[in-house]
Amino acid sequence: MKIIFLIMGVFLLSACSNTNNSLFSLKAIAPKVNLENFQLVKLGLSEQVYRLRLHIKNPNSFPLPIQNLTYQLFINDKSFAKGLSNKSVVIPALGEGYLETDVSSNLADVVQGWGQWFSLAKQSLDYKIKGSIGVTSFAIPFPFQYSDKVDLQLIK
């Protein structure tokens, strides 16, 4: 009887060694992050607060439990705002989700570029958001960067 248990134990150990240790060696692909929405929440003399809605796509076959996000928003290659979010969200395997976060900017920095802003009123605006996503159980955060262009039709 002891020999049967010994043989079964050897088979179980050999079966476990052939699983490629998939649970212990997850190789994750960085999620895709783009800016879905950008709106002014608060307008003050020294500070403005904007709400960003980020669309996150998970290309991995396992869920991504996001624990934090740091980012910087650029408009026409100029730094516009920086932010940090500690909101937790789980993006399903091969799925997508959203994260809303608030970011603030300084009025002095925005006013400094107003001449350029008004000259762009009939043109388009380039923006870029870049940063990193901290995921539970991964020591190194995933970097991301997304760029796009918005047409401005303010003045006709």
Helices H, strands E: what count in the chain?
A: 3, 8
Tokens of residue 61, six digits: 């076959």
For each of the domains in the chain, give its residue range(s) and CATH number, in order of start: 31-151 (2.60.40.10)
Q: CA quadruple 51, 94, 58, 36: dihedral positive or negative?
A: negative
Only one residue has tokens 């705002």, namely 81
Residue 113: CB atoms within 10 A of its CB come to 14
Residue 156's pLDDT is what? Answer: 46
Residue 109: partners with Cβ closer than 8 Å, 6 or more residues away: 79, 80
Taking only the tens of pLDDT, the chain with its 156 residues reads 556 545 555 454 555 544 444 444 567 888 999 888 888 888 888 788 889 899 999 999 999 999 999 999 888 888 888 889 999 999 999 999 999 998 888 766 655 655 555 555 556 778 899 999 998 878 889 999 999 887 655 444
